[in-house]
Structure 1
Amino acid sequence: MSSLHLIVAPPPTPNGDLHVGHMSGPYLAADIYRRYTLQQGNRAVYCVSSDDHQSYVDTTAERLGTTSAALIAQARRDIQASFDAYSIGLDRFGQPNAEYAEFVTNFFTALAAKRLIRPATVPVLYDAQRGSYPVEAFVSGRCPNCLEGTCGGICEGCGHPNSCTDLLGLDGNRYQVRQEERLILDLEQFRPALDDHLNGLGTHRPALRRLIRQLLADKLKPFVLSYKTPRGIDTGAWGLPGQHLNVWGEMYPGHMYWLTKTAGDAIADAEYVQFLGFDNSYFYVFVHVALALAARQCGFQWPLPSAFITNQFYNLPNGKFSTSKGNAIWARDLALEYNTDLARLFLALHGPEYQEATFSEPIFKRAVDDLAAKINKLAATYNSKRNRNQTGQEAIPAEVARLMSQELSLKEYSNAELARRAIHALQYLEHWLATNDAASTACIPSAIILCLDALCPQYTSALQQQFSIREHSWTSPARRPFDMLPEIQVQYAHAAL
């Protein structure tokens, strides 16, 4: 029986378009997983929304001399175009609206009624120069854990949270620590359940496993759920007017809102898989799971995550990709020059799944040339033999079917592993076809589609249409021996751009 998989990636910040670093991370990874899940005979729903209340929108708008609203509108159009260019098959790209805000407010009201969240006096940072309370993008210093330069809230280097007040190197004449009321989520009260769930998953990649161990070694600090920021969902309903929800707290019920809008009540019994960059781990793994546990105490029928599929940073030779700093190779710029199917395949093979990696366009170009050559060699061999070998062994070679039909569990899932399997299978098929006189060409189009469908969807969609292939599997490939196989092109101009 097929199962429903709920797939979520973090909301992109609408302060600009997506760069190659974004695309190499959770957005492409989640789409490949979605397509792979469907190929296994399961159902899948993939939802993303835009992080409209994120502070980086405001700092970027200020830098560009525009308004936050105008920046969000343009960035959403750009982000959608980038998703389309890379065949990211979203079931929903949501944008916060009044109904969304009401859903999120009702969720936190239910938690407040059971005292699972509450106002409390906490230390907060005050900027005397600007007369504001800086958080996240509005303040930077040194991480108190690893000493790397960081903004407020979270350290992108080590993944540890900070409260802004504990950042090192702040100007003591400008910044003051004040004691004020904020809405808090006491993470420590959820420690036993957090420990049990997080350490029971067995799906964490090494960096996340290490972070979980480090954070659980000490008392978990309360998570501050409200800020004095210019925009967001107002917290007046919980006795704190003039403040807004911390976007990382807002995000959890937001995900459930979009999933419910898309899949309905079926989400209660579904498998929930969260893709994310490692730098967001604290929020997703501790804050969101704690909120999910609180939700269950309030009667919400929402699933706990089955896995957190993390990726590390993808860098440029001169530093990190950064939209807010304008240091980037934009995903759509790359799509103007290269076939995004091959870009997807390259990023699956060489993306930063387990450790940081560096994107080099010369290396990328050589690699996609090589990948295209491997695919096209099989197409050429097929085309040379298609009229001579329309009979004989019609099944896909057992060795290929065995390799490609082995289902990857969430514990071992990897885009790179899927891509390596596909390339090795195609190379084996080419050799088998070239050296085996009894080999039939009939199964080859079907086999190529099965190998590449999750990775190169534009190419496989074209093959499905050309060869009229609808239903097929590794054990029952479609027989289509007549047409010429097209080559996969390395460079092209994407029509949508």
Structure 2
Amino acid sequence: MPTQPKRYLITSALPYANGLKHVGHLAGAYIPADIYVRYLRAQERDVVFVCGSDEHGTAIPIQAMKEHTTPRAIIDKYHAEMKQDFADLGISFDIYHRTSEPLHHETAQEFFTYLHERGELETKETEQFFDEATKTFLADRFIKGTCPNCGSDRAFGDQCENCGRTLSPDELINPVSTLSGEPPVKKKTTHWYLPLGKHEDFLRKWILEDHKDDWRATVVGQCKGWIEGGLQSRAVTRDLDWGVQVPLPDAEGKVLYVWFDAPIGYISATKQWAIDNNKDWQPYWQDKDTKLVHFIGKDNIVFHCIIFPIMLQLHGNILPENVPANEFLNLEGDKMSTSRNWKLEMRDYINDFVKQPNGGSQCVDMLRYYLTQIAPETKDSEFTWKGFQDAVNSELVNIFGNFVNRTFVLMHKLCGGKVPHLHNEVLDEVDEQMIGEIKLSKRLVETYIEEYKFRDALFEVIDLSRKGNQYMQKKEPWIVAKQLAENPGAQKSIDNCLHICLQLTANLSILINPFLPNTAQKMLHMMKVVDKMLNWSNAGTLNLLKPGYQLRAPELLFRKIEEAEITAQVEKLKAGLVKATTAPAPAETASAPAPVKETIQYDDFAKLDFRVGTIISAQKVPKADKLLQLEVNLGFEVRTIVSGIALHFTPEEIINKQVVVVANLAPRKMRGIESNGMILMAENADGKLHFVNPDGIVNNGATVN
């Protein structure tokens, strides 16, 4: 068995402080890390668990614009709320820091300076979009225009909100700045870059050779794709007024790119933890006898396995031993989406379950259990409310909780509430088999946890309680008790059964502790023992509860989830989606009329053929939330037209509506459907679309001049 490292440094991905986080985030990067850390603590290893809010990048000022406030107000608000949500759900960070702290700015600037002074960065002059009215270089998200793919004017410099296509600012038709509404210009600017290609040999050996067998296949596969696709230089600075200032005299108005400064937040958080606890932070990042593990989602693989390791190596830091990235967690058959309000926020679960009169810590563990059971360790998985109900009722209540409750009830009924003695002389094969299962379970659980297979580890714990129920059914101490008058010696059989069941219960408290810490504490209370019982070294042993020791009365560990609760949650989810798709889109800037497009000649206008038509059918385009497939009667023919109006109108409400159609527009395929025309729409200041239609009924096919 390999030698254990001296210390462990465990990180969870820094969440953006631009909004509340959903249970997909919780399942991906936080619960797995917390399980691993609690396991290490139970082994009394030196471990530090760091995280914190990622408070820079364009996501923050964009959210500030939406909420009509300042970036500082946004990060202060969401940092506090996220920190509380994590605490409410039992995520036991040693420190939850923030990248807006002066210590982080100093650490990130020192990191940049170190690389810059050693010639590890290169400079490039490029042209970027610039808003002359506000004297600001524009990040992609601050540029808006018409989508070249679907024609929607709700396209941004990184993505079209209508058709979902990834874009660059250069592709937009008639781009304007969201800050001023003015068309941007191209302006030269200089930035610093990290030349990733120089480090390809290092990455090939470190990932594709050294870790090809012990890292998850999905992680190695994604890294291999990046490496073999050719690594390009990546900018480490950008023109922005929100972030860590570049510490160079000729870099006014430039900040460190958020992808560069954010992972350094792990280091600054460790420094702050060390200050708070009178420790030395350096061994955790510089001593080769430290095991560094990053817990992330798959969308962060490139940063934690390609870019940050290059930075760490150049800076003289240790490299991660593993990056157990999870896939995505879907919700009720669809991807979670904040923009569509198809999500289950941690805060919603806390309010609807944990803070209810029948909630509390048991509901915290119920969520932790289900999210671990369905953890997307090797492929995307799905949260359903029915699945949550089944997991709680069928497994936590009927298997785990049932075994513990039966054991305590029978112990009080048949043994006077005290731990009975074990009579070795009458142990039978069934007893010996159960004892063997207890010892084996410890080895299985710790092996799976060490391999980051938390689903398998949790299954073994539940399966041990299932075997406990089966053992009790075979021994039937309640039946044997009825025979005591005729056979007093049978008491030893009852004692042995309940002694083994109680020792099994004590073992279950140890094994379940990394997963369901509140449940473990409740079991300790019932057994009248202290936290030291939960030391991992105690697992697999059968002398945890001394014979003759008085135990407390049983308490139910979990409650059942009722059908009405599940129905309410599903209805709430669907209602939220309807609300999100019918509400006006939040304005990116203060209301202002769109600028007039460039002047055209009459002959250009005369080329357009506008016709009146009537919508005779409409239906949603599958897997496209914003598209409707329309059949429009133009008098001389019926046209199929795909239109991005599904967020504003239901199919039913637009049947028989007369519209103006651009009839001679070249056909275009959208989601595999050929669209033959375009519906004219008007957009008000709130982003709500309105039909441009004739005043009164007009014959289909009539021209519009």
Q: Give the alignment's TM-score, normalised by structure 1.
A: 0.86
1:463 aligns with 2:546: no
- Contact preservation (8 Å) 1:56, 1:324: no
Give, in whole Å, the separation in 1 of the partners of 2:449 and 2:422: 38
Of 10-19 and 387-396, more deviation after overlay is shown by 387-396
2:193 partner SS:
strand
What's the CA shift for 1:48? 0.5
- Contact preservation (8 Å) 2:24, 2:330: yes
Structure 2 spans left out of the alignment, 5+ residues = 148-154, 160-165, 177-183, 275-280, 355-362, 425-431, 476-492, 562-705
Deviation >6 Å, runs of 4+ = 127-131, 139-142, 150-154, 393-396
1:383 aligns with 2:403: no
Give, in whole Å, the separation in 2 of the partners of 1:189 and 1:410: 36
Map of 1:299 onto structure 2: none
Q: Deviations over 1:158-213 (max 9, x none)?
A: xxxx9x75x79533655776653111111111111122212212333233222111
Map of 2:283 onto structure 1: 266
Residues 22-41 of structure 1: pairs in structure 2 closer than 5 A: 22-41=25-44
Give, in whole Å, the separation in 2 of the partners of 1:47 and 1:188: 30
Map of 1:193 onto structure 2: 202
Map of 1:44 onto structure 2: 47
Q: Deviations over 1:338-387 (max 9, x none)?
A: 50101101000112222222322233223222232222211232023214
Q: Deviations over 1:231-280 (max 9, x none)?
A: 00111426322111011101232211212333523312310000111111
Residues 261-340 of structure 1: pairs in structure 2 closer than 5 A: 261-263=272-274, 264-267=281-284, 268=287, 269-296=289-316, 302-317=317-332, 319-323=334-338, 326-336=341-351, 337=353, 339-340=363-364
**Alpha carbons of structure 1 residues 462 and 381: separation in structure 2 relative to 1, 3 Å:** closer
**Alpha carbons of structure 1 residues 124 and 191: separation in structure 2 relative to 1, 3 Å:** farther
1:60 aligns with 2:59: no
**What is the identity, as a one-letter code, of the residue corresponding to 1:246?**
Y
**What is the identity, as a one-letter code, of the residue corresponding to 2:422?**
G
1:422 partner SS:
helix
Query: Which of these residues, 436, 448, 459, is aligned with residue 398 of structure 1?
Result: 436
Residues 46-125 of structure 1: pairs in structure 2 closer than 5 A: 46-95=49-98, 96-122=100-126, 124=128
Residues 476-495 of structure 1: pairs in structure 2 closer than 5 A: 476-477=541-542, 478-479=544-545, 482-490=551-559
- Contact preservation (8 Å) 2:109, 2:247: no
Q: Give the alignment's TM-score, normalised by structure 2.
A: 0.62
What's the CA shift for 1:22? 1.5
Identity across matched positions, percent:
18
1:232 partner SS:
coil
Give, in whole Å, the separation in 1 of the partners of 2:34 and 2:435: 28
Map of 1:21 onto structure 2: 24
**What is the identity, as a one-letter code, of the residue corresponding to 2:395?**
L
2:76 partner SS:
helix
What's the CA shift for 1:483? 2.4
**Alpha carbons of structure 1 residues 129 and 427: separation in structure 2 relative to 1, 3 Å:** farther
1:35 partner SS:
helix
Give, in whole Å, the separation in 2 of the partners of 1:19 and 1:316: 10
Give, in whole Å, the separation in 2 of the partners of 1:80 and 1:235: 28
**Alpha carbons of structure 1 residues 124 and 204: separation in structure 2 relative to 1, 3 Å:** farther
Map of 1:170 onto structure 2: 172
- Contact preservation (8 Å) 2:207, 2:220: no
What's the CA shift for 1:484? 3.0
Query: Which of these residues, 218, 222, 226, is aligned with residue 229 of structure 2?
Result: 218
Give, in whole Å, the separation in 2 of the partners of 1:491 and 1:352: 25
Map of 2:377 onto structure 1: 353
**What is the identity, as a one-letter code, of the residue corresponding to 1:290?**
I
Give, in whole Å, the separation in 2 of the partners of 1:109 and 1:2: 31
- Contact preservation (8 Å) 1:135, 1:153: no
Give, in whole Å, the separation in 1 of the partners of 2:372 and 2:247: 45
What's the CA shift for 1:37? 2.1
Give, in whole Å, the separation in 2 of the partners of 1:72 and 1:485: 45
Give, in whole Å, the separation in 2 of the partners of 1:379 and 1:366: 19
Give, in whole Å, the separation in 1 of the partners of 2:560 and 2:71: 36
Structure 1 spans left out of the alignment, 5+ residues = 143-149, 155-161, 297-301, 493-497
What's the CA shift for 1:325? 5.8
Map of 1:147 onto structure 2: none
**Alpha carbons of structure 1 residues 435 and 70: separation in structure 2 relative to 1, 3 Å:** same
**Alpha carbons of structure 1 residues 65 and 321: separation in structure 2 relative to 1, 3 Å:** farther
Give, in whole Å, the separation in 2 of the partners of 1:283 and 1:486: 47
Give, in whole Å, the separation in 2 of the partners of 1:206 and 1:179: 42
**Alpha carbons of structure 1 residues 111 and 431: separation in structure 2 relative to 1, 3 Å:** same
**Alpha carbons of structure 1 residues 151 and 277: separation in structure 2 relative to 1, 3 Å:** farther
Give, in whole Å, the separation in 2 of the partners of 1:327 and 1:127: 35
**What is the identity, as a one-letter code, of the residue corresponding to 2:283?**
A
Q: Deviations over 1:25-83 (max 9, x none)?
A: 10111111111222344232110011111322221221122222112112122112211
Map of 1:426 onto structure 2: 465
Give, in whole Å, the separation in 1 of the partners of 2:394 and 2:53: 36
Give, in whole Å, the separation in 1 of the partners of 2:175 and 2:305: 36
**Alpha carbons of structure 1 residues 474 and 224: separation in structure 2 relative to 1, 3 Å:** same
Map of 2:614 onto structure 1: none
- Contact preservation (8 Å) 1:14, 1:71: yes
- Contact preservation (8 Å) 1:405, 1:474: no
Give, in whole Å, the separation in 2 of the partners of 1:53 and 1:274: 20
Larger RCO, structures 1/2 (Cα 8 Å, 6+ apart): 1
- Contact preservation (8 Å) 1:112, 1:238: no
Of 63-72 and 5-14, more deviation after overlay is shown by 63-72
**Alpha carbons of structure 1 residues 177 and 443: separation in structure 2 relative to 1, 3 Å:** farther
**What is the identity, as a one-letter code, of the residue corresponding to 2:193?**
I
2:321 partner SS:
strand
Map of 2:505 onto structure 1: 445
What's the CA shift for 1:405? 2.3
Give, in whole Å, the separation in 2 of the partners of 1:10 and 1:422: 28
1:119 partner SS:
strand
- Contact preservation (8 Å) 1:126, 1:176: yes
- Contact preservation (8 Å) 2:333, 2:382: no
2:323 partner SS:
strand
**Alpha carbons of structure 1 residues 68 and 402: separation in structure 2 relative to 1, 3 Å:** same
Give, in whole Å, the separation in 1 of the partners of 2:5 and 2:503: 26
Map of 1:183 onto structure 2: 192
- Contact preservation (8 Å) 1:342, 1:371: no
What's the CA shift for 1:129? 9.5
Give, in whole Å, the separation in 2 of the partners of 1:397 and 1:410: 22
Give, in whole Å, the separation in 1 of the partners of 2:396 and 2:349: 16
- Contact preservation (8 Å) 1:9, 1:26: yes
Q: Deviations over 1:109-139 (max 9, x none)?
A: 1111101123222454557898754446546
Give, in whole Å, the separation in 2 of the partners of 1:278 and 1:249: 18
